Amino acid sequence: MSRKFTWRNAGITLLAGLLCTGTAYAQNCNCAVTIPLTQQSFNASSVQPGDTVCLEAGIRTRNLLITNVTGSHNNPIVFINCGGKVTFRLASGLSYGIKFQGSKYFRITGTGSSDQYGIVVDSAAQGMQLEAQSTNFEVDHIEIKNSGFAGIMAKTDNSGRGPFVMRNVRFHHNYMHDQRTGEGFYIGQFNWAVDGNQHDIDTLELYDNITERTGREGIQVGCTYSGKARIYNNRVIDPGLLNLTNQRSGVQLGNGFSGSFYNNYIEDPLANGITVLGVGNVYVYNNVIVNPGEMAIYSGHPTSEAGKNFYYVNNTILMGSNTQPVIRFDPTVASTAYIQNNAIVRTATDTAFDRMSGTMVVSGNVIRTTAAPFNFENAAAGNYDLLPGSVAINAGVNPTGFTIPFDFENLTRPVAAYDAGAYEFQGAPADTVLYRVNAGGLEVPGTPIAWHKDKQTDPCPWLNPASSNYTTGSDQPWNGTNTTDAPSQIFSTNRYASFGGTQVSYNFPVSNGTYEVRLYFAENTNQASGLRVFDVRAEGAVRLDNFDIYAAAGYRNAHKEIILVTVNDGVLDLDFAAVTGNPQINGIAIVQSAAHSAARQLLSQTEAPVTGNNRLLAFPIPLQNQLYIQKRGLTGSTFSNEDVEVQLLSESGTLLYKARHPFTGGNLKPLNLSPLALKPGLYFLKIKGSKTNEVIKLLKR
């Protein structure tokens, strides 16, 4: 199967946000203690609650044992890389990279530099261990790779149920990959039993992590008997590669598990997408499972308890040619599985839901043998958003026993009735059309507003009086080829400028913000390229350079161009300036796009306050084939020109694109991303010049 994924952040950053460039990290570490690269053990008994313990930046060839950390609920002790990345480059025979023992109320984080993962553990039997009754901790922004066994293991074996309970633990924004024989995350002892000797976990959050190419499951969690476990927004790719019986799934919600598993993406597990062995009160919803080797969900429960049920709701499942059941339910006691609102592509036509024991309530599921009836936005690229006409829209039922207020993208659910699958169709956002101009012609009726007349003797109110005031053409119907969204009559007339460097200009009053400018052209005179060449400027910046209608569309073919324009002075200025021949325009529409407005609003909430005129705005978000970058200044700001280096990197740091581009008047020449064939996911755009140095996080749907 081709490599693909979707990645959605829910509750962190939905569309885009600016990242720090890292220039101030070293001076903000506030280190109470620094652990040198050569130090192999650290007893934290003298460190006070609220202190910061810094790991010296650089390459470590020794592992690190940390003991006796005692922070407090309100003042945890923080372990952080300081001034740069810390890389544990270890001999393969070492049993661990970082180990915490007998510690509580602490955080270990790789946010002490501009690197996405500022602490890296490479080549140990286990990347990180949290054991010996360690509790109340947080682990984030750590990369662990090439481990002989698990990436992160958190448990205290044989501590008993009751004398010790692991409480309030969080794992987020970590990257586990190439664990040769083990799991990405191994949280809680596998051999939990209700009357056994393995501890419970009271309150677990595991979110926004990535696991790739693991020998066993990408994520294995058990022992959350309290029911306060939330596992969400994780991506699990290529798990189970060791091909061990019963440990080849994408995720295992193991013995003693109770809680919620939602908004996760699982691809290409060697066996099941999710194996559920928990006690019950397990809620699995809004997940995407792609190409499982066996079942999408195996629900067998050696520790299940009577009266505790299982919920498999609103998942999108792509089974391919797999003939296994989609979901198999086999509890050891009288329990019920509610299997509802799942969107399933499955070529097999036999039993999709296999009840070995217990009771199944099945409703609202939509199963088809191909993806076509679901009308996914781009299934080939791993995007399973619903487009109009999908059989999944409003096909679901109200889930039994709980409600689901959001979907895989953290958007509202339900909009009308529940849709089937992980995504809820939101409906097309409404655009607001502010202006329409029939350049050179009479008024043309239209919805939601008419195309305003713009005759030579009766120009529209927005024509600049200093413009060349010429029009040509006939107001009769036009018989060229028109595949645009404008009426054909628009292309029968035009406004043009004379030779000799003159231009046509329009000035549209608007509120400050970003607008979609739709420009309509037709070449009704010249039948060769190079005879009519002109620049289109918006807000003084060239947006269509040396534009040639015939070269773009041919003779008597309607053509549409869209540019995005940000206005800071209350007037949207458009200029059509001659290069060769007469510049012309047939129609103009100024649109306040709902999608662009939403992106702008979110950016205004997440960006740091603007302190200069070099803050950057990228749009549209989510990414499309063209990316626009603008310097974002205060009203009346002027921007000096500069050349910048532009780099586009994948979420894992792979360089995908590198080139130099000019900023002119605060606008970067649009980036054409089509040749990169970007898959859905997160990307980082680095832009560096003499006056600019920023990193922008981007989402591709």
CATH code for the domain of 669: 2.60.40.3080
Domain final residue pick, 526, 560, 592: 592
Tokens of 186: 């191994």
* Bridge partners for 310 per DSSP: 282, 337
Q: Is pLDDT of 4 > 60?
A: no
Give the integer Cα–Cα distance in Å for 477 and 404: 53
Residue ranges of the alpha helices (H) in 594-657? 594-606
Flag whether 335 is in a domain: no
Number of structural domains (the chain) is 2
Flag whether 121 is in a domain: no
Residue numbers of the domain that contains 501: 432-592
Give the integer Cα–Cα distance in Å for 517 and 563: 5
Q: Give SS3 for 92.
A: coil
Amino acid at 660: R
pLDDT classification of 262: cutoffs 50, 70, 90:
very high
Q: Is pLDDT of 522 > 90?
A: yes
Flag whether 613 is in a domain: yes
Flag whether 462 is in a domain: yes
Range of weakest confidence among 7-21, 119-133, 628-642: 7-21
Give the integer Cα–Cα distance in Å for 68 and 76: 13
**Between 438 and 92, residue with greater pLDDT:** 438
CB 8 within 8 A of CB 686: no
Same domain? For 534 and 654 the reply is no
* Bridge partners for 214 per DSSP: 179
Give the integer Cα–Cα distance in Å for 224 and 169: 11
Flag whether 548 is in a domain: yes
CB 662 within 8 A of CB 363: no
Residues 6+ apart with CB under 8 A from 97: 63, 64, 88, 90, 121, 122, 124, 126, 127, 128, 144, 147
Domain final residue pick, 546, 567, 592: 592
Q: Is pLDDT of 638 > 80?
A: no
What mean pLDDT value characterizes the chain? 87
The DSSP 8-state label assigned to residue 45 in this structure reads T
Whole-number pLDDT of residue 635 = 37
Same domain? For 613 and 552 the reply is no
Whole-number pLDDT of residue 653 = 64
pLDDT classification of 420: cutoffs 50, 70, 90:
very high
Amino acid at 604: S
Half-sphere CA count of 401, side-chain side, radius 13 A: 18
pLDDT classification of 47: cutoffs 50, 70, 90:
very high
Q: Is pLDDT of 603 > 50?
A: no
Q: What's the pTM?
A: 0.66
* Most confident among 58-67, 374-383, 497-506 (mean pLDDT): 58-67
CB 158 within 8 A of CB 198: yes
Give the integer Cα–Cα distance in Å for 188 and 211: 18
Give the integer Cα–Cα distance in Å for 648 and 668: 15
Domain final residue pick, 568, 592, 616: 592
Give the integer Cα–Cα distance in Å for 674 and 82: 39
Among candidate residues 31, 53, 163, 34, the one with its CA nearest the CA of residue 106: 53
Same domain? For 513 and 631 the reply is no
Q: pLDDT tens digits for 87-108?
A: 999 987 788 999 999 999 999 9
Flag whether 402 is in a domain: no
Same domain? For 567 and 486 the reply is yes
Same domain? For 494 and 556 the reply is yes
Flag whether 675 is in a domain: yes
Distance separating the N- and C-terminal Cα atoms of the chain? 19
Average pLDDT over residues 303-330: 93
Q: Is pLDDT of 608 > 50?
A: no
CATH number at residue 538: 2.60.120.430
**Between 332 and 422, residue with greater pLDDT:** 422
Among candidate residues 571, 563, 516, the one with its CA nearest the CA of residue 542: 563
% the chain with pLDDT above 90: 64
Same domain? For 463 and 551 the reply is yes
Same domain? For 440 and 535 the reply is yes
**Between 701 and 565, residue with greater pLDDT:** 565
Flag whether 549 is in a domain: yes
Same domain? For 456 and 588 the reply is yes
Same domain? For 539 and 640 the reply is no
Among candidate residues 2, 220, 20, the one with its CA nearest the CA of residue 113: 20
Same domain? For 457 and 574 the reply is yes
**Between 131 and 377, residue with greater pLDDT:** 131
Q: Is pLDDT of 500 > 70?
A: no
Q: Give SS3 for 551.
A: helix
Whole-number pLDDT of residue 612 = 36
Query: Whose structure tokens read 């694109």?
Result: 657
CB 574 within 8 A of CB 581: no
Same domain? For 441 and 539 the reply is yes
Taking the CB of residue 245, how many other CB atoms lie within 10 A of it? 6
Q: pLDDT tens digits for 624-636?
A: 777 878 775 533 4
**Between 431 and 258, residue with greater pLDDT:** 258
Same domain? For 555 and 680 the reply is no
Q: pLDDT tens digits for 170-202?
A: 999 999 999 989 999 999 998 898 889 999 999
Question: What is the three-state SS of 103-167?
Answer: CEEEEEECCCCCCCCCEEEECCCCCEEEECCCEEEEEECEEEECCCCCCEEECCCCCCECCEEEE
CA 456 to chain centre: 50
Residue-level length of the chain: 701
